[in-house]
Chain A
Amino acid sequence: DTAVSQTPKYLVTQMGNDKSIKCEQNLGHDTMYWYKQDSKKFLKIMFSYNNKELIINETVPNRFSPKSPDKAHLNLHINSLELGDSAVYFCASSQGAGRYEQYFGPGTRLTVT
């Protein structure tokens, strides 16, 4: 069983389009995250939800909007895609914040043309 899954794995789209990435975890965790990994492999947190409540909202453009319909799901919607949004997006989850290991999904490679 996949602990943290993301769909799609690859996403190629044109500038200006709107797209969504879905994430699901079956670990029973309370906290979920979105990270962005750029072309130099640098990882930066974007958002975090705990029990469906937003607890981390980094300096991310308003075009990015996370949605957590329930504790097991955290989706990422991106409006008006730009070339600079091209990256690998990782979803992660953990039992709680701080000392707990974060379990990462396989990533979604977004390419904006």
Chain B
Amino acid sequence: AQSVTQLDSQVPVFEEAPVELRCNYSSSVSVYLFWYVQYPNQGLQLLLKYLSGSTLVKGINGFEAEFNKSQTSFHLRKPSVHISDTAEYFCAVTLGSGNTGKLIFGQGTTLQVKP
């Protein structure tokens, strides 16, 4: 069975500072990896995804993530955050084959950007 662990429940950071949100997954088979963002009182929106190929994935709003198979990690980074990046961030995994579309989410990380 697959599982996802987001290592930080809250990450406070000052505006224009870099940030990294950590995600580790567990799976005995190949997986697809996703990062979603949830702004207050809204649904989730896809930031980026890793399916195959280049391990560095670029997404919307200046975010990027690096897939590390040996460390089973998919950490999300942004070099300079804005106040508007304050939101809940979810790492998710789904099977790479024989897939029903079932997304398994991590517990979420609250990014708090301070002025």
Q: Is B43 touching A90 in the complex (CB atoms < 8 A)?
A: yes
Q: In the complex, what distance in Å separates the CA atom of A33 from the CA atom of B102?
A: 9
Which residues between 13 and 59 of chain B lie within 8 Å of chain A, taking CB atoms?
A: 32, 34, 36, 38, 41-46, 49, 51
Q: Is A94 touching B105 in the complex (CB atoms < 8 A)?
A: no
* Inter-chain contacts of A4 with B (CB < 8 A): 43
Interface size on A, residues (CB 8 A): 27
Q: Is A94 touching B101 in the complex (CB atoms < 8 A)?
A: yes
What's the minimum C-beta distance from A33 to chain B, rounded to whole angstroms?
7
Query: Is there a chain A Cβ closer than 8 Å to B99's Cβ?
Result: yes
How large, as a class, is the contact surface on chain B?
20 to 34
Q: Is A98 touching B108 in the complex (CB atoms < 8 A)?
A: no
* Inter-chain contacts of A44 with B (CB < 8 A): 105
Q: Is B108 touching A41 in the complex (CB atoms < 8 A)?
A: yes
Most buried by B among A50, A102, A107: A102
Most buried by B among A33, A55, A97: A97
What's the minimum C-beta distance from A54 to chain B, rounded to whole angstroms?
10
Q: In the complex, what distance in Å separates the CA atom of A90 from the CA atom of B104?
A: 14
Residue of A nearest to B94 (CB): A98
Which residues between 40 and 97 of chain A lie within 8 Å of chain B, taking CB atoms?
A: 40-45, 48, 50, 55-56, 90, 92, 94, 96-97
Q: Is B95 touching A98 in the complex (CB atoms < 8 A)?
A: yes
A 32-44 binary contact with B (CB < 8 Å = 1; else 0):
0100000011111
What's the minimum C-beta distance from B23 to chain A, rounded to whole angstroms?
14
The listed residue (A45, A99, A101) touching B102 by CB distance below 8 A is A45
* Inter-chain contacts of B97 with A (CB < 8 A): 98
Given A99-B49, A104-B45, 9 further pairs, Cβ under 8 A? A4-B43, A41-B88, A45-B102, A48-B101, A50-B101, A97-B100, A98-B94, A98-B96, A101-B46
What are some 8 contacts across the A-B interface (CB < 8 A)? A48-B102, A50-B101, A56-B102, A97-B101, A98-B97, A100-B101, A102-B101, A105-B43
